[in-house]
Structure 1
Amino acid sequence: MTEQLFYVLGGIGMFLMGMKVMTEALREAAGTGLQAILTRFTTTPFTGVLSGGLTTAAIQSSSATTVMTVGFVGAGLLTMPQALGVIYGANIGTTATGWLVSLLGFKLKLGTVAMALLFPASLLDLLARGGWARAGRMLAGLCLLLIGLDLMQAGMKDAGTILRPEMLPSGSVLGLLALAALGAGLTVVMQSSSAAMALALVMIQSGAISLTQAVAIVAGMNIGTTCTALLASLGGSRPMRQTAVANLLFNVATSLIAVPVLLFGLGALQELAVRTNPMTAILVFHTGFNVVGAMLFLPVTAQFARFITWLMPETPKTRLVDLDRALLSDPVTALLAVQAALELLEHRVYGAMASALQVPADYRGIAALSPCRTALAEVEAFLADIRLTADHARQEVALSALLHQTDHLLRLLERLSQTGRISVLKEDPLLRRPALITGAVLQRLIEGCCSDAEQARLQRLSVLVNHRKDRHRRGLLLGEHAGLFDLNEVFSNTDAMRWLTRCLHHLERLEHYRQATRAALPVARAMP
């Protein structure tokens, strides 16, 4: 009995380690592609379901997808209603692991093959680099998972003679609730619904639990898997906590679907178990009630989001940028949060500068830019605390580009405080047109026009202004020598030309580094 218990516990531990290694390797191999899928293809709740399901099936972890989604909400890359679709999809995607375990571990019985493959897979991870090393980790994780499953099966082989279904509650409502609590507790302790599902499949195969009891346990697992997201949201922003609570309430409501199944559909499940096997029946139930839950919630996603907002109302923002320190635990999400914050600040600065360069000039936007300086100081402090993971060149490129953006935006803010230069530009017939064109380009950038085209236009404009500046300065000096201009007029025009040249340089560099950041972190912004 003790030896069998050790087999079960060791098998669970090996399964958990295999899941961890395989999931991390899959996430690393996918890179920023997962973030791109979760944000670019989440414009509606339905597309959110698709992206959440595909992402979870790809990395074999609903907890990882949900935690990633909570982080994106905190970074401002997803709104809470958009995140709900991803959560629905993650619940469906996580059922793929159960089918994978059933196929490879129970039907094909690849545990012995996994033992033989573990050694070369481990060598590949230790000796290779890059993609080959990741492939080795993925294979080693899968091998550990299958070996752990074999150990669990070996430990539970004779469990039917020791642990029988009649020894666990099943008939009463309280008994089923106790089993659901057991399933939730197992998932919380293991921090993996996949491992808990594997244990349930082993137990039902060995005859230790009945189909009815397995239904209740699996329903409880759906609730237990929300623990990771709740923990990730602690200390985070209000939208992060709202998303985690929405995930909990959705999973609780979905798990309640087990009640009508136990009352009216148990006969159909038992018939399916007779025709196939009990494991297939429980997997069909697991996939079915998650799909039905998503279908029930999809049409009322907007109302559900409003209910969550009512339940946990947002506090009014006191700062222009609110970078959540909890996001620092994931460098990619932290970088994305800074990217979103800088784009917000750039739009505000661009709008103020465009208004000042129009006719007639409107300087109210520039006068209201003081909060931007405070926000940029917060961005600088946040960037200084980001710790990049090893061997991630994209993160280094993104961090460098964001630092450059912050620096150029600070310098541009300093230039904009010199509003006297703008009035001089408007009065000079040679520089008036470039100034107006600069304002038009900024307006197009605010409206979301192609940044590449506008960056090229800024470069051409900078060359033109530089050429005119040199020629105009010579003309002013000659005019002053001939008595056509006084010295103060020469100085003010020269300063205004230099001001426009430097502003154009900062704007062109800002667009250049913004494109570099987007290339390194190909993730879309949240829809309003």
Structure 2
Amino acid sequence: MDLGSLLNFAGGIGLFLLGMRLMSDGLKVAAGPALRGLLATATRSSWRGVGSGVLITSLVQSSSAVIFATIGFVNAGLLNLGQAVWVIFGANVGTTLTSWIVALVGFNIDLQALAMPAIAAGMGLWILGKGRRSALGQALVGFGIFFLGLDVLKDSFAGLGDTFEIDGWVRDGAVGIAVFALVGAVLTVLMQSSSATLAVTLTAAAGGVLPLTAAAAMVIGAKVGTTSTALFAVFGATPAAKRAAASHVAFNLVTALVALPALPWILAGSQWLADALGFASQPATILAVFHTMTAWWAWC
């Protein structure tokens, strides 16, 4: 990878993170007190709690933001521990939507044709609108920048697999899987976004840079990396908030401890399921199925 490609890659990550931040912040402002009310009223049962976690995470594209907010609500006494645990589980499931966006939209649609109108319309609302309308415009701009970043990442990895051999960097088997899982976790901690790590991983796999097994290990590592958000949120928190954060850490660590040893078999099942459901048998699609399977299986 030459300097130009490296700078494009870094810029793509920057655009992706900026888009997610604008989209998340805009939607939270637009929702206003409704977000807090939704969490309070939609967590009266375990299924409602999971559903609200999935829905809100899918909308704001940030499980970290939802988990951080949920722990904050527990700390303030607005949610009890039981309600928070189900929302956190739902947030972990909801983050799988990022994988599907990358797999189904990122490689099948002209992303610039999707992004540019969103940015244009969003800026109009952001500048000319007020209150919630302006916040929705900000979210729409973030949506467009999100896809521009994905487009840059896709172009950065295109054709790179023919000239960039990563297979020989690590040993085969358990050691190689563990190394790539660690890379996924470290990237997530550094960028404070599992979605960004997933975008990088899926586009690298689609470009032939990452072997499928290595990419799957990074997906699991990204789940472990998100636990840093919960750990940051508990400083000075109440015992209930600390227990809520501990549930998130336990959920992802148990998922990793079970999924990593069984990774080749889960990955094979994901490929079979992708074919059975009629999805194109591409690396990004297989990884999206893999991510979804591990999230739902761990919750069930």
Q: In 2, Cα distance between the equivalents of 1:98 and 1:185?
A: 19
Does 1:71 pair with 2:111?
A: no
**Any conservation in 1 of the 2:20–2:142 contact (CA below 8 Å)?**
yes
**Equivalent position of 2:127 in the other structure:** 126
CA root-mean-square deviation: 1.9
**Counterpart position of 1:268:** 269
5+ long unaligned stretches in structure 2: none
Q: Which residue pairs with 2:255 in the alignment?
A: 254
Aligned-partner residue type, residue 110 of structure 1: L
**Cα drift, residue 99 of structure 1:** 1.4
Alignment of 1:371-410 (within 5 A): none
TM-score, structure 1 normalization: 0.53
Alpha-carbon distance between aligned partners in 1 of 2:51 and 2:133, rounded to the nearest angstrom:
29
| In 2, Cα distance between equivalents of 1:270 and 1:168 | 25
1:205–1:279 Cα contact (<8 Å) kept: yes
Q: 2:182 aligns to what?
A: 181
Q: State how far apart, in whole Å, the 2-side matches of 1:2 and 1:155 are.
A: 11
Matched-pair contact (CA < 8 Å) for 2:8–2:153: yes
Partner residue in 2 for 1:291: 296
Once the two structures are superposed, residues 6-55 of structure 1 have per-residue CA deviations (whole angstroms, 9 ceiling, x without a partner) of 00000000000000000111112222222122222223333321221122
How many Å separate the matches in 2 of 1:139 and 1:47?
Answer: 28
CA displacement 1:419-453 (0-9 Å, x = unmatched): xxxxxxxxxxxxxxxxxxxxxxxxxxxxxxxxxxx
Q: Secondary structure at the match of 1:291?
A: helix
> How much has 1:107 moved relative to structure 2?
1.4
Alignment of 1:348-387 (within 5 A): none
- 8 Å contact kept, 2:104–2:285: no
**Which is greater in Rg?**
1
**How far off its partner does 1:141 sit?**
0.5
Query: Structure 2 length as normaliser, TM-score?
Result: 0.91
Deviates most, 6-15 or 163-172: 163-172
Q: Which position in structure 1 is the counterpart of 2:145?
A: 144
Give the distance between the partners of 2:274 and 2:55, measured in 1 at CA: 28
Give the structure 1 partner of residue 209 of structure 2.
Answer: 208
1 CA distance for matches of 2:140 and 2:104? 16
Deviation at 1:117, TM superposition (A): 4.2
Q: Within 1, Cα distance between the matches of 2:44 and 2:225?
A: 28
The residue type paired with residue 27 of structure 2 is: L
2:281 aligned with 1:282, yes or no? Answer: no
Residue 110 of structure 2 is matched in structure 1 by 109
Q: Deviations over 1:408-427 (max 9, x none)?
A: xxxxxxxxxxxxxxxxxxxx
Give 3-state SS (helix, strand or coil) of 1:129's partner: coil
- Matched AA of 2:296: V
Q: Match of 2:26?
A: 25
Unaligned runs of 5+ in 1: 296-528
Question: Hey, what's the Cα distance between the residues in 2 that align with 1:49 and 1:271?
Answer: 27
- Give yes or no for contact 1:273–1:279 (8 Å, CA) kept in 2: no
Q: What is the percent sequence identity of the aligned residues? A: 38
Q: Using the alignment, how far apart are the partners of 1:108 and 1:25 within structure 2?
A: 25
Alignment of 1:453-468 (within 5 A): none
User: Per-residue displacement from partner, 1:160-191 (whole Å, max 9, x unpaired)?
Assistant: 13432413436221221111111011111111
Question: Following the alignment from structure 1 to structure 2, what is the Cα–Cα distance between the partners of residues 57 and 113?
Answer: 19
How many angstroms does 1:57 deviate by? 1.5
Q: CA deviation at 1:207?
A: 0.4
Between the aligned partners of 2:169 and 2:113, the Cα distance in structure 1 is 33
